[in-house]
A = this chain, B = another copy of it.
Amino acid sequence: MTKEVREKIQALFDLKGLRMTRPREVILEAAFSDRGDHFTADELFEKARAIDRSTSRATLYRTVALLVEGGLLHEIDLGKGVTSYDPNFIDSPNHNHLVCIDCSNVIEFEDLHISVLEDCITRRLGFTPASKSVQIRARCDALKRAGTCVHLVD
């Protein structure tokens, strides 16, 4: 977990008068230490249980809700049928997702042009933008050509 992430967590906890407990430490560790992987509630539960087997689902759901409300975790829809969570908005507040239909890998990307356009469109429609997201579903060219795919490192 980076220093920045730890600070943001601290700031949120201070702001809301939340207490740092062992169960929460475990869940935070599970959510933010792995190199920015997305996860579902259940995947996070398994990660947390790998750190401390006594992790409970109730506490996990309650903690995730706090983090989402505090903006530290974002709910994203990766087309899995369950909500996924993205811990990377702390480091990259404006990224978007490309989901590969073939290898089901998720690529994050940022694009200033799209951001600006989204902004214009929103204002033209009479609104002030709050959050914007682009989701692209696509097929992996490499997989199609070579039968294998660099993104399959997952």
Chain B residues with CB under 8 A of A139: 127-128, 130
User: By the criterion CB–CB under 8 Å, are A135 and B133 in contact?
Assistant: yes
- Residues of B within 8 Å of A121, CB to CB, are 98, 109, 111, 114, 136
Q: Which residues of B contact A133 (CB under 8 A)?
A: 134-136
B137 touches A130 (CB 8 A): yes
Interface: A129 (CB within 8 A): yes
Q: With an 8 A cutoff between CB atoms, is A125 at the interface?
A: yes
Knowing that A117-B117, A128-B138, A133-B134 touch, tell me 18 more A-B residue pairs with CB under 8 angstroms: A98-B122, A100-B127, A107-B125, A111-B117, A111-B121, A114-B114, A114-B121, A118-B134, A122-B136, A125-B138, A126-B142, A127-B139, A128-B141, A129-B136, A130-B139, A132-B134, A133-B136, A134-B134
- Residue A54 at the B interface, CB < 8 A? no
Chain A 112-154: CB-based contact to B (< 8 A → 1; otherwise 0): 0110011001100111111111111111111010000000000
> Which A residues lie at the B interface, using CB under 8 A?
77, 98, 100-101, 107, 109, 111, 113-114, 117-118, 121-122, 125-142, 144
Q: Check B127 against A140 for contact (C-beta < 8 Å).
A: yes
